[in-house]
Amino acid sequence: MEKTVKRFPVIDSADCSLCQGCVAVEPDVFYFDENSGRIVVRELAEYPLVQVDEAIKNCPRDCISWDIPEKMHLSGECTEEEILGIG
């Protein structure tokens, strides 16, 4: 079973070249939104760790990164393993 995490990928649209490499790597997470003309991250409860790491590694503009909702830090509602996929 694939490992999922509760942190989420974000895209710096200012640097994105719209090459759609991330969409090719993981279309279940990234898609091109024709209305905004941007690459958008789908809203999921959890994200596949390996596939998103692969998209980050292959992004030619280095504009994808992981983020962690502030409330997860504050509330302690998630374990570090759930957020980071470690362990």
The footprint of ligand SF4 on residues 67-86 (CB under 6 A) is none
Choose which of 16, 40, 72, 84 interacts with ligand SF4 (CB under 6 A): 16
Measured distance CA(52)–CA(84) in Å, rounded: 12
Choose which of 3, 10, 17, 73 interacts with ligand SF4 (CB under 6 A): 17
Query: Which are the contacts of 78, defined by CB distance < 8 A and separation ≥ 6?
Result: 6, 72
Which range binds ligand SF4 by CB under 6 A, 44-52, 53-61, 69-77, 78-86?
53-61
φ/ψ of residue 34, rounded to 5: -65, -30
How many residues touch ligand SF4 (CB under 6 A)? Answer: 14
